[in-house]
Amino acid sequence: MKVKSGYIREYSVISAALGLLILLNLILGSVIIPPGEIFASLAGKSDLSFVNEILWDFRIPKAITALLAGVALSVCGLQMQTLFKNPLADPFILGISSGAGLGVALFVMGFSAFGISLTGSFALNLGVAASAWAGAFGVTLLILLVSSRLRDNTSLLIFGIMLGSVASALITLLQYFSSSSALKAFVVWTMGSFSGLTSAQIWIMSMLIVPGLILSVYNIKELNILLQGEAYAKSLGVNLEHTRRRILVATTLLAGSVTAFCGPIGFIGIAVPHIARMFFKNADHRVLIPATALLGAAIMVFTDTVAQLPGQSGVIPINTVSALIGVPIILIIILKSKFI
């Protein structure tokens, strides 16, 4: 069957590219580590303590975070585009990431207003993830309510943009009354970063992303049916409301967890599904779900690698690099391909 075995070459090429990008990500930085030392450290045979410290305390956690974020945001964007039949649909545009950001702002700056500091505590790690997920899920519920009453996708997209604007306005209000330390922490978070996550934070993030991915795979059949239109789906006995609910819960888990720990990273959710469709020339989600996951991971790891190129005094915000890299790519695809 072509869907199952006809794309081995494409998957192999992307997987190999991902492996090379991860290796490059571990090599480059303020200190360049030779590949031999990296493999020795991974095997537990490196005698250089500073190499082990750089790799295991900084670069490997950062690479894992970038990989998880790329997979989650790409799969999330694919489902949203299919559900709303809109090529611009992703958590950022529909307000889900903005809702997650509002949840984090309420948590971080709200505690600051009462003089409570949770910096460095496990409560902060868990609270940020929970508040981001709660904010994203709140926006999801509003979108579900409106989607059941509106048949026009453009109107629904406008509603999502309005939700994002309202969330941004509330965040600005919180910033106005926030302390300087809390404000700085939140602003840095909004720039996007894969650095500084502890093993506990990565574990929490993965425990939120994995159920979202499992639910996304479970949604494949309904996603393929939705490609033919809602009327066709109804004729097959598909419960559209239940399907929408499952898809949006999956995307909320994916987008909310990434936004909580890495900041509101834009563009990836829009671009990668289109790149996957062009590369594989297929709209079947049995092909696109793993394709977008691999491509998203590769592109995000590459983005993080560019952000930490040697010679820099610090790391460039991920959102800046993703826009500079991604916008030209998607423009070229739009101009040269009709498969979007």
Cα of 266 vs its chain's centroid, Å: 8
Q: Which residues of 4-40 are buried (b: 16+ CB within 10 A; e: fewer)?
A: eeebeebeeebeebbeebbeebbbbbeeebeeebbeb
> Average pLDDT over the chain, rounded to whole?
84
Q: What is the mean pLDDT of residues 126-135?
A: 77
Question: Is the pLDDT reported for residue 213 higher than 90?
Answer: yes
Can you give the pLDDT at residue 2? Answer: 47
Q: What is the DSSP letter of 80?
A: H
Quickly state the pLDDT bin for 338 (edges 50, 70, 90).
low
Can you give the pLDDT at residue 169? Answer: 92
* Token output for 34: 């030779």
Residues 209 and 250: their CA atoms lie apart, in Å, by 9
Phi and psi, residue 178, nearest 5°: -85, 160
* Token output for 152: 């026009």
Helix (H) or strand (E) holding 187: helix 180-190
Can you give the pLDDT at residue 4? Answer: 53
Point out the least confidently predicted range of 15-19, 143-147, 193-197, 297-301: 143-147
Quickly state the pLDDT bin for 121 (edges 50, 70, 90).
low
Q: What is the mean pLDDT of residues 225-232?
A: 84
The residue with greater pLDDT, 328 or 334, is: 328
Q: What is the mean pLDDT of residues 1-26?
A: 85
Can you give the pLDDT at residue 118? Answer: 55
Can you give the pLDDT at residue 154? Answer: 64
C-alpha to C-alpha distances, 85 to 27, 90, 258, nearest whole angstrom: 41, 11, 24
Share of the chain above pLDDT 90, in %: 33
Domains by residue range for the chain, with CATH: 2-336 (1.10.3470.10)
Question: Is the pLDDT reported for residue 86 higher than 80?
Answer: no
Instruction: Report the half-sphere exposure of 307 (CA within 13 A, side-chain side).
Output: 26
Can you give the pLDDT at residue 267? Answer: 84
Helix 60-84 to helix 240-262 angle, to the nearest 10 degrees? 150
Q: Burial-class residue 335 by CB neighbours within 10 Å (0-12, 13-18, 19+).
A: exposed
Point out the least confidently predicted range of 113-122, 197-206, 216-225: 113-122
The string of DSSP letters for 215-272 reads HHHHTHHHHHHHTT-HHHHHHTT--HHHHHHHHHHHHHHHHHHHHHHH----SHHHHH
Can you give the pLDDT at residue 311? Answer: 58
Phi and psi, residue 76, nearest 5°: -60, -50
Query: In sequence order, what E strands does the chain have?
Result: none
Question: Is the pLDDT reported for residue 122 higher than 60?
Answer: no
How many residues are listed for the chain in this entry? 340
From the CB of residue 72, how many other CB atoms can be counted at a distance below 10 Å?
A: 35
| pTM for the whole structure | 0.88
